[in-house]
Each structure stands twice: as C-alpha cells, then as structure tokens.
C-alpha cells in the first residue's frame, strides 16, 4: 500500500487508531516507572489526555483539517493530565497549528508539522530534559527532515520514522542515568511510540479496537527493545521547576496587535521577557497578547511590546513594599470559617430545586483557594484552613487541565490560588491558568500537601495577589516533605536495591530509606530531614494505619526528637502509610 498524500478522513482514522493503541498498552507504560511506587501513572495520564481528544474527533461528522485541528488541539489541551499528558497535548497543539487550512498533507507537510510540534512542546517545559518524550519526538522530526527530500510515499515515510523513533527510545537510558540504572526506557517516549504505531495502522486502513483486557507487553517493531524486562520501571514525569520571585515589579498588560505575530516573533518576545525578568506568562492569539512578568524594569517590557501594537490594561505592582503585619492565627481561623460558610452557602444556593425561586448570585470575593489531595480526613483539614474546593487526586490520579478549570468555575472569587500539591500536576495547573479568561489563576508550585498547607497558612487577606504569591513561595521553600509507601516491583534506584514489598521512605530528593518496617523507615526518613533549623514535625497517617499505631509512632518520635514539636493528624490517604513534613 502507498499514499502520496493524506486527507482529513485519513488523519481522523490514524488519530483514533493511535489513541486506541496507546490506551491498550497503558498498563505496560505505567510499569515503566523508575520509582517502584504503586502509582505509576504515565500510561494512564497519556491515555486520558489522548482519549479526551479522540472523543472530540469522533463527534466530528464531516471532518476537515480545520475541524480536526480544533478537536485534537482543544480536546487534548483540556484533557491533559500530568507532565506526560501536558507535553503530549503540546505536541498535538503544534502539529495541528501547522496543518490548519490545508486540504491534504504530503511528506513535506507532515515534516513541517512535526517541526512545529517539537518546537511547541519544548517551549512548554521550563527546563527540558533529554532522554524523555521530548528526545523521542525530536528524533522523529530529525528523521522526517532527512527522508522528505527523497521519500514521497507517506506509508513508507511513516514506517521509517517509527523505526528510527524506536531506536531513539532504546537509547534514552544513555541520556538519563536513572533509566540506565533501572534498565529501562522512558515511559513517555514509549507512550508516544505506541500512539504512532497505532496511527500508522490507521493510515493503512486497519482498525484498532479498544481492548477490555490490557496486554502486559505490546508488540514490538523490527525486533527492537528485546532486552527490556517484561516488567520494567521507567520515567515519564519530567521535573518541572518554577523560578522563585526575585524581581521587584509585577507587570501586566495586553498588546492589541497591529498584525498577528509569527511563531518566531512570539519566541523572540518570550526570550526578551526572560532576559529582563521571570514568572512569565505570555499567551498570544491572532489579535492580542496577554503578558505577565516580574521585572526590575517595567518600562523595558512596555517599550518592547509597543513595537507589536498598542497597550491596554497596564498594571504595575511594587512587590518590595513593606508587607503588612501578618494576621494572627485567630484571625486566620475566623477567615477560614467565614470562607467555608460562604462556600457552603454558595453550594446551597446553586442546588437546583423544583419549587424554589432562584437565589441571587453570591457576590464575587477577592480570593479563593483550590487544592489537590486525596483522603477524606486530609480534605477536611484543608477545608478547615479555608480551601474552597478540593480536587480529589494526586499521584494515583492526576487531575486534568479541564478538572482544574471546572474547579475554578466553582470558586466564587476574582483571584484563585491553586495548590497542585504534586510536581506532576503543576504543568496542567499552569496550562489551566493560561486558558482561563474570566478569573485570575495563580498557581503556587506546591509539590506536597504539607507544602500546600504551609502556603495557605501564609496567606493574608489584606495583601495583594503578588505579595501573597511571594509569601506563599517563601513558605513552601521552608517545608521538607516525605512519604512512606511500599515497593511494587524489584528494581535499583540511586544505588539502592529494592525488592517487591519493601517499605520506602521518599523525600523531596528521592528514595532515601528502604526497609521492612513502616515505623523504622518513617523514623529514618524524618531523621534525614531534620536539621538545626527544624522546629516542627508533622505526620498524616493513611487509611492503612490505625490510630493506635500512629499514636505509638508519634510518642516514639516525640521522645527521639525531644527538642522539636511533633504533631499527628489523620490523613486517610491511600497507598502512603505516612505523609510527613519537617519545618
């Protein structure tokens, strides 16, 4: 079979087949997890992301490239979960931006679309790592660029770039030592290859049905990856870092464009903003550009922006002004109670009733709060501190961009602070912030529930959003977090041999302690986190720990660390015996 070009129907069939193939192999991809915790989720996140787009595509009755582009880009963007899902959605976004307006695609068009996809995905990640899905995507584009000069058959072209992509994937352990130690490839890259294999089948006219039973190992192309263990452990969760606020003026404005910016101009403008500041949000469409930057020279940002068009909604806040005295704990508790009461009232007023007269809308308040966590007791703790809405999720189930946007809609506030409480949710939260138009979303890059709690406790009603962001960012930097869970497979990480069923103590740095006793591992983990500046140890015990056992451990820790305060709270979280923090 050969094709010199593909139309919208071909792309539709290819995408759906690719989505189904990725979904059918999600459990295998989940097993590609360097850290042998019982929550490997790269395959799940990528599947939920792509199936969101597939649902949009299936609803398109008479597909055109424009309609498909909108369905794929919008569906994956809103359905994106976890870092792997967000990066996948950005690959699709770039690809779709390049194919819009075309009737058919030949190998040159596909190569140009691959280039845009890779460029868009790399831009979405603050500190891209090689040896990940990004490396595999770039390798595919490089091969496409090589082939397009002499290959005009789309099927042969696709077969060759997939073979090359498998080779690039097989070499990811050489780029990331943690993969090499575990003896596996990158899980995000594996997910991308499963999609492409399915998409090729779709181009050939083959149908891939969604499987009810998930195979433990997918079929491999060209005999590649034969040395990969049947039950390995890889990585798809890029560590996305967010810079601390260190520039004095929070500067915001909108550019009313004289004409639409090219991708190169957008890239150059973002690079310029990076050279004069940080905490940058720059979202461009055909008519305007929305800009947020922390800088010591707002005038420079304005002058550069004026070269593209007129300015409106200009706003500058001096973040170095002396902060107002923080509210007392009593005032904090009162504020939390008032916010919870307002939230409950809003839920009651929005509850449909057949015979009731619709209530007047609740007045928009200045600040609202959203947190991600799991466990009923943990949720109650967060709500008692003033969190308006808790999204159920975490490592085992990363909420999507759409989940976060839906939560924002439920919070009756002008400014909404979002606490992702997991490094694999921060990127989706940032994506939600870029999409939302009617409210200002401020993502505080919390990587654990204890960090989220510390952040909300540092909030002050009488401070500006920028001042609160600075205070919260400073607060979370002082919190060390840890988790105690069990291993689900044999592996080796950071020189530690880990057996299935071992108990692991995981800190912000990685797996610190391995043992067979929950109490001993928890104690050793905390011992490694405590230093001369520490004053408080907090434990949240999970659903698999009895209150009696947790109290015994708390008493032992109080005796061992007699100069520190030790607090115990019920968390109710699954999978993790204890979540701990040291401040």
Give CA 6 to chain center in angstroms.
Answer: 33
Closest CA to 397 of 48, 87, 50, 92: 48
Q: What is the pLDDT of residue 442?
A: 92
Return d(Cα 481, Cα 499) in angstroms, integer.
24
Question: Which residues fall within 8 angstroms of residue 150, CB to CB, at 6 or more apart?
Answer: none
**Cβ atoms 226, 177 nearer than 8 A:** no
Q: What is the pLDDT of residue 336?
A: 52
What Cα–Cα distance (Å) separates residue 188 from each residue in 17, 41, 317, 322? Answer: 18, 10, 40, 45
Return d(Cα 124, Cα 430) in angstroms, integer.
10
SS3 of residue 336 by DSSP: helix
SS3 of residue 492 by DSSP: strand
Q: What DSSP designation does 33 have?
A: -
DSSP E strand boundaries for 275-394: 277-284, 288-295, 309-318, 365-373, 389-392
Closest CA to 96 of 113, 109, 75: 113
CA angle centred on 437, ends 312 and 92, rounded to 5°? 110
Return d(Cα 483, Cα 495) in angstroms, integer.
19
Per-residue pLDDT of the chain (583 residues; tens, 9 = 90+): 678 999 999 999 999 999 999 999 988 888 776 565 555 578 888 888 899 888 888 888 788 999 898 888 888 887 888 788 888 988 998 999 899 889 999 999 999 999 999 998 888 777 778 888 999 999 999 999 999 989 999 999 999 999 999 999 999 889 888 788 777 888 889 999 999 999 999 999 998 988 764 433 333 332 233 333 333 333 333 333 333 346 777 787 778 788 888 878 888 888 888 888 876 766 666 666 767 777 888 888 888 888 888 876 677 776 655 333 333 444 444 555 555 555 454 444 444 444 444 445 557 889 999 998 877 778 888 888 888 888 877 655 778 888 888 888 888 889 999 998 888 888 888 888 888 877 899 999 988 888 888 888 888 888 898 998 998 988 888 888 888 988 877 878 777 888 888 899 888 888 888 999 999 999 999 999 988 888 889 898 888 889 999 999 999 999 999 888 888 888 888 788 998 988 8
Closest CA to 11 of 98, 85, 79, 83: 98
Return d(Cα 290, Cα 288) in angstroms, integer.
7
Return d(Cα 484, Cα 451) in angstroms, integer.
16
Return d(Cα 286, Cα 260) in angstroms, integer.
5
For the sheet containing 249-257, what is the strand order? 277-284, 288-295, 249-257, 309-318
Q: Dihedrals φ, ψ of 447, to 5°? A: -110, 0
Return d(Cα 580, Cα 583) in angstroms, integer.
10
Other Cβ atoms less than 10 A from the Cβ of 67: the count is 18
Q: What is the pLDDT of residue 354?
A: 43
What Cα–Cα distance (Å) separates residue 447 from each residue in 12, 244, 420? Answer: 37, 14, 7
Tell me the pTM. Answer: 0.62
Interior/surface letters 149-181, b for 16+ CB within 10 angstroms, e for the rest = eeebbbeebbbbbbebbbebbbebbeebebbeb
Return d(Cα 23, Cα 44) in angstroms, integer.
8
* Helix 401-410 / helix 65-79 crossing angle, nearest 10 deg: 70
Q: What is the pLDDT of residue 12?
A: 92
Return d(Cα 282, Cα 295) in angstroms, integer.
14
Q: Dihedrals φ, ψ of 508, to 5°? A: -60, -20
Return d(Cα 40, Cα 411) in angstroms, integer.
31
SS3 of residue 81 by DSSP: strand
Q: What is the pLDDT of residue 101?
A: 87
Pairing of strands 288-295, 249-257: antiparallel
Six token digits for residue 49:
């992301």
Return d(Cα 339, Cα 459) in angstroms, integer.
13
**Cβ atoms 92, 76 nearer than 8 A:** yes
Q: What is the pLDDT of residue 162?
A: 94
């Amino acid at each position: 079979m050969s094709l010199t070009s593909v139309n919208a129907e071909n792309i539709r069939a290819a995408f759906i087949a690719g989505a189904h193939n990725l979904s059918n192999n999600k459990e295998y991809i989940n097993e590609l997890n360097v850290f042998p915790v019982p929550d490997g989720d790269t395959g799940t996140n990528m599947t939920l992301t792509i199936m969101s787009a597939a649902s949009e595509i299936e609803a398109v009755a008479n597909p055109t490239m424009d309609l498909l582009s909108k369905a794929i880009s919008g569906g994956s963007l809103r359905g994106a979960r976890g870092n792997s899902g967000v990066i996948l959605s950005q690959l699709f976004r770039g690809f779709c931006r390049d194919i819009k307006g075309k009737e058919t695609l030949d190998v040159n068009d596909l190569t140009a679309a691959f280039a845009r996809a890779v460029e868009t995905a790399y831009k979405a990640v603050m500190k891209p790592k090689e040896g990940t899905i990004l490396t595999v995507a770039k390798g595919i584009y490089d091969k496409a660029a090589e082939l397009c000069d002499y290959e005009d058959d789309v099927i042969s072209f696709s077969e060759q770039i997939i073979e090359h992509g498998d080779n690039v994937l097989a070499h990811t352990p050489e780029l990331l030592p943690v993969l090499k130690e575990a003896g596996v490839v990158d899980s995000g890259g594996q997910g991308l290859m499963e999609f492409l294999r399915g998409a090729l089948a779709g181009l050939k006219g083959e149908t891939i049905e969604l499987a009810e039973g998930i195979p433990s190992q997918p079929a491999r192309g060209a005999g590649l990856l034969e040395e990969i263990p049947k039950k390995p452990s890889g990585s798809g969760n890029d560590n996305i870092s967010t810079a601390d606020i260190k520039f004095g003026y929070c500067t915001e404005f909108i550019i009313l464009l004289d004409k639409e910016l090219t991708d190169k101009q957008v890239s150059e403008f973002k690079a310029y903003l990076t050279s004069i500041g940080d905490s940058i949000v720059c979202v461009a469409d055909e008519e305007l550009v929305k800009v947020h930057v922390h800088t010591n020279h707002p005038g420079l940002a304005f002058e550069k922006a004026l070269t593209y068009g007129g300015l409106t909604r200009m706003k500058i806040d001096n973040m170095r002004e002396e902060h107002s005295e923080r509210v007392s704990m009593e005032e904090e508790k009162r504020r939390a109670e008032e916010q919870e009461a307002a939230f409950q009232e809003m839920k009651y007023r929005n509850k449909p009733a057949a015979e009731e007269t619709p209530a007047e809308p609740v007045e928009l308040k200045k600040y609202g709060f959203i947190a991600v966590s799991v466990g009923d007791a943990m949720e109650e703790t967060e709500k008692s501190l003033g969190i308006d809405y808790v999204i159920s999720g975490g490592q085992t189930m990363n909420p999507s961009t759409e989940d976060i946007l839906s939560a924002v809609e439920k919070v009756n506030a002008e400014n909404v602070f979002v606490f992702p409480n997991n490094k694999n949710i921060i990127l989706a939260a940032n994506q939600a912030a870029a999409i939302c138009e009617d409210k200002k979303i401020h993502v505080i890059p919390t990587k654990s529930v204890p960090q989220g709690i510390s952040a909300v406790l540092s909030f002050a009603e009488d401070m500006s959003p920028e001042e609160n962001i600075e205070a919260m960012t400073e607060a979370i930097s002082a919190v060390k977090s840890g988790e105690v869970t069990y291993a689900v497979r044999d592996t080796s990480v950071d020189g530690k041999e880990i057996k299935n069923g071992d108990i692991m103590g995981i800190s912000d740095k990685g797996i610190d302690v391995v043992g067979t006793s929950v109490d001993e591992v928890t104690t050793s983990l905390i011992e490694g986190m405590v230093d001369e500046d520490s004053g408080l140890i907090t434990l949240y015990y999970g659903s698999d720990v009895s209150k009696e056992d947790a109290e015994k451990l708390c008493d032992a820790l109080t005796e061992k660390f007699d100069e520190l305060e030790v607090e115990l709270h019920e968390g109710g979280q699954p999978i993790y015996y204890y979540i701990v923090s040291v401040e």
